[in-house]
Amino acid sequence: MSKDLKVLICDDSALVRKQMNKIFSSQGISNIFEAVDGEQAVIKYAEVMPDVVFMDIVMPKKTGVDALKDIMSLNPAAKVVMASSVGTQANLKDAIENGAYDFIQKPLSEDSVVKILEKINE
């Protein structure tokens, strides 16, 4: 696992941000950035240019799918992982069609997050 990965967590829940921070820290990753809504996610992405983004879907100001679209137009090679409890068929389809790298169904498990990080490192 590359400890130099830059990770951006976009989730309006302080609990989820804390849980994800803990998972990344346990993998030795320290370049962790956070956004609390969809608008901030896009601004932060442009500022930090992270290697991977973990993006919630239901968020204030801008949904995760809209933020995904904006990020993909900024950088078509961006790796954006949607992490949501609302893993409905429509959301999965929407995410894939708009270029999402992967989809994690909440509740988050450390295993599922680590598997994605390993895939990115390959």
Partner 1 sequence: MFTQFFGNYLLNKGLVSAENLAQALADQKNTRLKLGVLAINAGFMTAEQVDKVHAEQQRVDKRIGDIMVDMGFVTRDQIEELFKTQPSGHLLLGQALVDSGVMSNAQFEQALASYKAENGISDADFINIDDNNTNKLVAHFYKFKDDSNVKYLTGYLTLLLKNLVRFIGDDFTPMDADYVQDRVLSECIGQKISGAVDAMTVIEADSETAVKFASRFAKEEITEYDDYAQACLSEFLNLHNGLFAVNVSNEEGNELSLDPQAYYDTLNLSELKNAYVVPVCFSFGTVNFVISI
Nearest-angstrom CA–CA distance, 68 and 72: 6
Q: How many residues bind partner 1 (CB under 8 A)?
A: 18
CA 75 to each of CA 39, 68, 107, 113, 119: distance values in angstroms, whole numbers, following the listed order: 16, 10, 28, 22, 19
103 part of the interface to partner 1, by CB under 8 A? no
Q: Least distance to partner 1 from the beta carbon of 10, Å? A: 13
Q: Which is nearer to partner 1, 87 or 99 (CB)?
A: 87
Q: Which of residues 6-35 bind partner 1 (CB under 8 A)?
A: 12-16
Based on its alpha-carbon atoms, the radius of gyration of the chain, rounded to whole angstroms, reads 13
Q: Which of residues 38-97 bind partner 1 (CB under 8 A)?
A: 58-60, 84-90
